[in-house]
Structures are given as C-alpha cells and as structure tokens.
Structure 1
C-alpha cells in the first residue's frame, strides 16, 4: 500500500512541477529569474514547488 501511495503522491508532485515550469515560462519576469525558478523546481521538487507558490512570479 505504501508504494502505491508514494507513487500517487510522486505523480501529483510531478504534474504540479510541470504546471509550475509552464507558468514560469509564460510569466513576464526576466530570463535569469525564469532559469532560477525552473532550476529550483527541478533540483528541489517539493521545496521548489512550495517556494514558487508563496514567493514565485505574480501576474
């Protein structure tokens, strides 16, 4: 059971990270900041996702 739950949670984090990367690319922030956010999300998926949610680019 724990393997299935971990797989589902991992898949949800993966989908959310893809969403964050797409939204970051579409944002109007500078290219350097886009690269920084994308690298943060790729290297630290859960922490990067939370940081983007609270501190990321706004519309």
Structure 2
C-alpha cells in the first residue's frame, strides 16, 4: 500500500500468507541509527507475534 512502512508491509504480507515465522537480516546501518530512524527491523520486533530468525 502506498505510504505504508516497510515493516508494516512485511507483517501484513506474512499474515496474508499465514506465515509461521520470519527470517530476516537486521541492523544494516547499525543499531543506534536504525533506532533513531524507526527501522524496519525495530518495527517488526515491536509488532510481530511470529517467531523470528535474525542475522546481522
């Protein structure tokens, strides 16, 4: 959806396909910068109920 944050889009799609978990990379620009700029990683960590496998 236009204007939708990437994290919200990923979680919406995961729900649509009935995903049982997510595998993703994290903190591409470092944890502090990503925290300051509301990164996709942080948004998914805060909003998901799915199990996550994260690599950074």
Please give the TM-score of this superposition, normalised by the length of structure 1: 0.28
Compare relative contact order (CA 8 Å, sep 6+) and give the higher one, 1 or 2.
Answer: 2
> More helix per residue: 1 or 2?
1
Higher Cα Rg, which structure: 1
> More strand per residue: 1 or 2?
2
